[in-house]
Chain A
């Protein structure tokens, strides 16, 4: 007698699932008690359950952690404030949109904009009573914040700059279509934030794709155009690698099951590189994206959120299983994967000219932070550029921005503005710093265990001395600092990574590749600055002395047996 097929994790009784699942299910497609929460003037917070729901709208409740202790003693609640992230598929916005976002940053978000590691904008510090106006401002510019956080398909990213070539334009357009195809459909966003009237009869199924419990956790899709792997395609749940033949896109290699986050010391959690499973034509991409997400929707762990990402579903059941499931749902299997080659995961700062004669300027923005400092007015400078620019702005996944599609005749005006605001790429910046990334961490991120954005620059000052002394100022070395092991700045794919454990203490990882196809490995645990400088100093000097021509630092540390080559995520925390 055959056994009944096992019940899909998604369909098990809600009481057997993680409590967030019931919360989502009962929320009437993410409405919850948001209206009441926003209206309560006594607290700057929304309720805990509403706080989970707002994430689906790109809104994340935070509090200023620098002030926590002081305010607790003063019998004041934490200084609650909201982070808002824009949905910006492919990372492209128009100058008019840039100006609108700039104005919102000045009105409600402390005069600063943050470019993220996934090609979009983040605002911080928004008071609850300004939240609606802020969201309305974003929507008035033709943008939205839907699914920028939460258990859904996040911002779809692709190799930056749609105006760089026809292939880039095609991929950018595809990113947008994937984002729209996989977007939540609930009317809650418009009702709660944009003043739309609720439907007269509640809709039975506002989410044909997601259902009432959405996904087990976030889902990230990325598209890369070789030889650039600026987006770190293997760090994402679902990756599409453009295969160019004779200058145009023949189709995409598909890879599944990548993801960065882990929990310190819990060896069943780990970062994972996605696996190549086949090839598809451009016309097949949307259906494959949809089916992949639905497979994860059905099979992802709904009990243990630390085990709920797609990478664990693939790890546990195998890529083979996934291919079979995908083939069953599509009605046919993927084709065999085709060859490609990645050279680098870095941006290329400075001027670049594409074949059509247009110019593109990649502005290096340290840690993606746009603000006005004495002598370097990034926020106002870009606002001025947006005032005259007739192309687009393309955000990169390395927290930089490309002023893209500049006609040759317009280039001098842009250069003049870069100079006038002191924001042109400085010539003295080390390649190490240009290849650095840090997440926001303190004071706003509730998950941070240690500083990142506020600390990496000063650590780099000290490392720059070591680098310069070793004669390596122009040698690109990727270095990423993360305030906690969740890995938002993709630390596990950096040649040098510092992952926070406690204030002032980091794990040091070494040995990832320069093109994002190998993880790094733990070298030292729980160390503070003196030891960081000591360890890296020793290794950098060795590298300078012993490296082979053209050898990258990450590769050197493997060859010199400083750390093992780490490919399989499951070995990461062993």
Chain B
């Protein structure tokens, strides 16, 4: 008979019930050694399956020799290409990589790194080298001791910080444990001859190294022996360290949206595009204290919360919603304190809604003090504090032990008070130095990429709704899926609210993103939304649907989803020559065929 904990562990396992039963009964019969052997076997075979699944386009990442160049005016790039060609003459394959394209995975999978970098201005790395410069200094890269490397630095001795960028890269790689093939070479303005001599030197060093093998290096997390992971839950969350908390919205934006990268290292959490991360919430201390003051309740009064008895303050911090108020609460609270429902609210459900708009618990309590009401009874009237779910904006194929989130920092004013989102405001203030967030995986089986990678997909994701589509595209690109991809994105202002803009532009350039259409509502006098773009491209959209495309919606449930749905019906009527009824049936069929999926909140 499974214990509650065991049930919890398997609750989120990616197997159907029958398979779970078979597995549990099998495994319960194994001893510790057998389990360890089995987990190693599974880890190894899944790693080679993953390696086999990676097609040729990824191969450039895995060449044993990587020529990494950081060029400002083309000189370093030219030398890099020269080196590449010379190696080729000697039948040695190498990958040419511009620093601006260099990711953590390139460094993890490289074996020999030949770095050519110029120094710009007074000691500055070239602009295209900045992101790598920061990556090497950030929390994501801790060891590179599998690497051997050498650096060719170009510079101008009339500057004090001669070849500074080259020196910094050289020193940093050494500090990360990489081994030098030869000492750094520095070149002045007349760099041609010394650079060529360095190239010849490197040729000799690299050519004589035994067995330049080209096997992909299995990443750290896969080679570690995988145990049957304890499934993390809301009650038992995983403390995920924050690797990055980067503001995505521009300076003048009316919003604050963050790109948050969480480390899943050692959690063994495996997720799929479409899944979400649940963050275990905690109310703000200042909000709880304000409520306590307004109610005059004793903070230490024992109350029941989540089948425990704890102090009221603790309960309000961790277990109850204390923000926006529901009609049900108004009814029951006013009844409990023997007060009539406020006149303006009582007239109709609409009136009640208007009354409650922007009103928080603390406002109600101030206006209608609980007086003789028992704190424990008061607590019973409150809704339980719900975890906040965030669609995962990454694919584990490219960010293997990370989960990325797109979080809008909720902050607004109502009734002359500043209000804050429970989780987002806490996240907003967390820096990257050791802070962590309590999380668990929330599977979202109803929001999945098509099984067939050649199926076209249409993604409608205004605002933070774009998050899972970042995961979709990363996944599709990593596995070399051939299917066409079309993204509709919308927000307020082009200049400051185009979330992940540079990534979409790159994806479009590479061909991964077949089409992207955008709508920025506040950039012109009339408001333009994603549904307007859908409508304007109705004929093409209909053609995609005829080709079997899946449509995905992610984002606001209240207005966006119904508006988009109405537009889809309109498109079906107009371009499919369908009646109202037929169009509705068409969309319903799409839904049951799992070709029309929504993740709305």
Contacts and interface: CB of A to CB of B under 8 A. Distances in A.
Nearest to B513: A42
Contacts, number: 70
A76 B502 contact: yes
B508 interface: yes
Interface string A358-377: 00000000000000000000
A505 B502 contact: no
B121 A75 contact: no
A194 B504 CA distance: 31
A260 to B, nearest CB: 21
Contact of A129 (B121, B505, B523): B523
Contact of A503 (B122, B495, B501): B122
A70 B499 CA distance: 14
A541 interface: no
A502 B250 contact: no
Contact of B494 (A44, A69, A503): A44
B130 A43 contact: no
A74 B247 contact: yes
Interface string A151-193: 0000000000000000000000000000000000000000000
**What size tier do the contact residues of chain A reach?**
20 to 34
Contact of B518 (A41, A72, A73): A41
Contacts of B502: 72, 75-77
B127 interface: yes
Given A79-B495, A265-B189, A74 B156 contact: no
B127 A68 contact: yes
B286 interface: no
A274 to B, nearest CB: 30
Interface in A497-527: 501-505, 525-526
A525 B159 CA distance: 10
A41 B248 contact: no
A204 to B, nearest CB: 35
Contacts of B189: 265
Contact of B504 (A42, A70, A127, A502): A42
Contacts of A72: 130-131, 502
A69 B127 CA distance: 9
B127 A41 contact: no
A74 B246 contact: yes
A323 B150 CA distance: 56
Given A74-B246, A502-B122, A69 B130 contact: yes
Interface string B103-133: 0000000000000000001101001001100
Nearest to A127: B495
Contacts of A8: none
B508 A42 contact: yes
A459 interface: no
B500 A75 contact: yes
Interface string B246-275: 111111000000010000000000000000
Contacts of B127: 68
A67 B516 contact: no
A525 B158 contact: yes
Nearest to B498: A76
B130 A75 contact: no
Interface of A: 41-44, 67-77, 79, 127, 129, 265, 449, 501-505, 525-526
Given A77-B501, A129-B494, 8 more contacts: A42-B504, A42-B505, A68-B127, A73-B246, A75-B502, A76-B248, A502-B121, A526-B159
10 contacts: A41-B518, A42-B505, A67-B251, A70-B251, A72-B131, A72-B502, A76-B250, A76-B498, A76-B501, A77-B501
Q: 6 closest pairs, A vs B, by CB?
A: A502-B121, A502-B122, A77-B502, A76-B501, A75-B500, A75-B502
